[in-house]
Structure 1
Amino acid sequence: MERCSILALLSAAVLIMSSLGVEGWSSYNTEVFQVGGKVMCQDCSKDWNQWAHGAAPIPGSKVAVTCMDARARVVYHTSDLADAEGEFDLSVTKNVDGIEIEPENCAVRLVSSGSATCNLMTDFGGGKSGVSLHRPTQVYPGVIKYTVGPFYFTTPQCDLPDNGPQ
C-alpha cells in the first residue's frame, strides 16, 4: 500500500514538472532573470590532480550577457565582475523598450581576467565562445535563475601553439 502511495506521488510530480515547460516559467511574473556562475584559473604547470581539481577562483574577472531579438539584433547587454570567490551574478531585464527578452536568445561569455598571470581565455565550460541559456536552475515565485560554467582562464605557458594544417 505504501509503495502505491509513493508511486502515485512520483507520478504526480512528473506530471507537474512536465507541465512546467518554458511557458510555465513566464507565469512567475518576474521583471528580471538572474544569470550566475564562477570564473576559475586552471594552471597546466601543476600536476594532473591539481590541474583537474584544483582550479582557483579569479576575482575581478569580467563576464557579459548579450541578448538578441527575434531578428538577431542585440537588444540587451550587461556585464559583471566576479567577487572574491570568482562568482558572478547578473540581472537581465526582461522588457527593454517594449521588446520582450527571451532567455533562450541570450549568451553568457568571458570578457577579461582579473589576474595578471592567469589571463588566457579557454573554452572549458564555453566561456570563450559563449553559452546560451536553456533551462533555469532555480525557479521560485519572483526568482528565475540560470547557472552557467564554471568558465576558465589559464596561464600563457599553457597555450598550445597553432601548428596550422599538417
Structure 2
Amino acid sequence: MAAYLSLAILVSLLAAAAASDHGDYSVSSHPHSGGGGGEKKLVVKVEGMVYRQSCAHRNTWRLDGAGPLPGAKVTVTCRDRKNRVMAWRTAKADRSGYFLADFGEGPPAAAYLKGDPAKACFVRLLASPDRKCDDLTTVNHGIAGALLRHEGKGSPAQGYVIYAAGPLAFRPRKCAPTRRY
C-alpha cells in the first residue's frame, strides 16, 4: 500500500509542477483557461467527506462502521478543454470529515474538459493525519480520482456550481486477523 501512497503523492506533485509552470494555480488566472469574450465566469466548488474505514471492511468499498477523519487532505484537479491541468486545490477535512475546495470565480463552463466541470475535475486522497490509519483505499476511486456529481446546488446559469465527490476513505495500516489459522 506504500506504493500507492507514493504514487498518489507523485501524481499530486506532478500536477502541482504542471500548474506552477503557468504561474498562479487559480482557474481565473490560467492563461489557457479559454475564458474570455462575454461568457459568464463560473464559480466552482467541490465538497465531500473523508472517513476512517473500519478493519471489519478492509479491502472492500463498504463504509459501515466508518468514522470521520478530521484533518485528512485531498486534492481536487481540474483539466481544461485540451486535457491540461488548469487548476487544483488541496482541501482539508474538518472535524466531521467534510471538505470544501473553492476554486473561486473562473472561466465559463465551456473552458473545462468536455465543457463540464463535473467531467473535468476529480478528487484524490492525499494525506491522513493519523499514522495508524493512513493507507489509501480505492473507495469511490480515491486513488485514481473520484468523479464528481452535481446535486442541484447552483447551476452555470446562476454563476456557481457545487459538486460532490466521495465519500472517500483511508484505512488502518494494521488490523487484527479475521480468521483463525
TM norm. shorter chain > 0.5: yes
Q: 1:114 — aligned with what?
A: 129
Q: Which amino acid aligns with 2:87?
A: Y
Deviations 1:81-114 (A, max 9, x none): 1001111011124536xx9334121111111112
Q: 1:67 — aligned with what?
A: 78
1:150 aligns with 2:161: no
Query: What is the rounded CA distance, in whole Å, between the counterparts of 1:134 and 1:62 in structure 2?
Result: 20
Q: Equivalent residues in 2 for 1:71-150 (5 A)?
A: 71-93=82-104, 95=106, 100-101=111-112, 102-103=116-117, 104-139=119-154, 141=158, 143-150=160-167
Q: 1:58 aligned to 60, 63, 69, which one?
A: 69
Q: 1:31 — aligned with what?
A: 42
Q: Which amino acid aligns with 1:87?
A: Y
CA contact (8 A) 1:94 1:100 kept: no
Give the 3 Å change call, closer, same or farther, for CA 151–93 of structure 1 in structure 2.
Answer: same
Deviation, structure 1 residue 132? 2.6
Q: Which amino acid aligns with 2:130?
A: S
CA contact (8 A) 2:52 2:67 kept: yes
Query: What is the rounded CA distance, in whole Å, between the counterparts of 1:38 and 1:52 in structure 2?
Result: 12
The size of the alignment, in residue pairs, is 124
* Structure of higher CA gyration radius: 1
Query: What is the rounded CA distance, in whole Å, between the counterparts of 1:44 and 1:133 in structure 2?
Result: 27
CA contact (8 A) 2:54 2:63 kept: no
Structure 2: segments with no counterpart, 5+ residues: 1-39, 176-181
Deviation, structure 1 residue 136? 4.1
Runs of 4+ in 1 over 6 A off after TM superposition: none
Q: TM-score by structure 2 length?
A: 0.60
Q: TM-score by structure 1 length?
A: 0.65
Counterpart of 1:108 in 2: which secondary structure?
Answer: strand
Deviations 1:30-66 (A, max 9, x none): 63121101000112158xxxx8521011111111111
